[in-house]
Structure 1
């Protein structure tokens, strides 16, 4: 347990702090409610677990060997966040037409271009892999811990969005909320390119 505590703490911090996944979940929770956002939450956790497992199995070494790959993923993640921001600004605000929901598959695949997810996966692989277990068992363990810890943390952001959604009763309020969330995603995207 003493060896697991630092991993648990790291996973809580990485999953609870603002980032691309959490900003998406606030917007999804506000517009669609928790139940309809649940597939995206599960997709983030599944995609992150696969990413962490693959990184622990050696994928992270590719970034060291080919730094251009890291730059390309960073650029793709930035562009994706800007597209999300653009779609959020242009989304309809009428009561009967909420913005498109993020699916399980979209959320899972987004982890491949989410720089924060890569930082988390590479850090877990390089710092928290248990040396007393075999590579596969250790990779499975830390991937599972990341997913289990991530679920309530990411759910917290979606529920925060649900709470915000309750005050978005008028089209003007929804439009302002969409603009704030889009600006947050755009700022986050630009920060990722530093």
Structure 2
């Protein structure tokens, strides 16, 4: 497995602005750090649950339909290219104004967030399953990806106001660099 592409994909997909990160940022600004951390714990649990569900479902699919890996790699690469396109065109002028910031809303947001759902459904079959098949490898992968997600969420909590100002000031350059990195990760799946 190309660890660089895997880590790039996970970091870009979790650290870039999306519904969860914008809600965290909004919660920090509107309700304070403690409430944002509570929301982040819920978001992390929801993220981990989605990853575990994806690993189980993809393992079942690969067992019954061994040729599905190729198609999942195509879907994963296509999704990364789509994310690269979206990131390059992101508009930061309309952030989410207010959210409750509760633990439960953090969990639920993950199941309603298309970015997270698509990420969790593609990362396991695209990067892990072609190289590892044991349940231990799947478990470790889910844990590592969940930790990366938690790190991203906490970054948005701890550096929310600084990160928001930086993104607003340099958002186009940052987005282009992240989009290029996603294109690279998508290409590396096939090499």
TM-score range with shorter-chain normalisation? Answer: 0.5 to 0.7
d(CA) in 2 for partners of 1:147, 1:127:
10
Structure 2 gap ranges (5+): 26-35, 97-108
Q: Secondary structure at the match of 2:134?
A: helix
Distance of 2:47 and 2:176 partners within structure 1:
24
Cα distance in 1 for partners of 2:43, 2:160 equals 18
1:52 to 52, 55, 61: 55
1:130-169 → structure 2 map (5 Å cutoff) = 150-160=145-155, 163=159, 166-169=162-165
- The two structures have a TM-score, normalised by structure 1, of 0.59
| CA positional deviation for 1:49 | 0.6
The size of the alignment, in residue pairs, is 155
For 2:57 and 2:65, locate their aligned partners in 1 and report how far apart those are by CA, in whole Å. Answer: 13
Question: For the residues of structure 1 that align with 2:90 and 2:56, how far apart are their CA atoms?
Answer: 35
| Shift in alpha-carbon separation, 1:87–1:77, aligned structure 2, 3 A | same
TM-score (norm 2): 0.60
- Is 1:104 equivalent to 2:110 in the alignment? yes
Match of 2:91 in 1: 92
Kept in 2: contact 1:25–1:157 (CA 8 A) = yes
Q: CA deviation at 1:193?
A: 2.7
TM-fit CA distance, 1:149: 6.0
Q: Aligned-pair RMSD on alpha carbons?
A: 3.7
Distance 1:45 1:87, change over 3 A: same
3-state SS of paired residue (2:16)? helix
The aligned residue for residue 27 of structure 1 is 16
**Aligned mates of 1:146, 1:19 — CA distance in 2:** 15
Equivalent residue, structure 2, for 1:183: 180
Match of 2:91, SS state, is coil
Runs of 5+ unmatched residues, structure 1: 1-13, 130-141
Name which of structure 1's ranges 37-46 and 177-186 shifts more when overlaid on structure 2. 37-46
Once the two structures are TM-superposed, the CA of residue 77 in structure 1 deviates from its matched residue by 0.9
Matched, 1:79 2:78: yes
Go from structure 1 to structure 2 and tell me whether the alpha carbon gap of 1:149 and 1:20 turns closer, same or farther (over 3 Å shift).
Answer: closer
Whether the 8 Å CA contact 2:40–2:154 is kept in 1: the answer is no
Q: Which moved more, 1:39-48 or 1:105-114?
A: 39-48
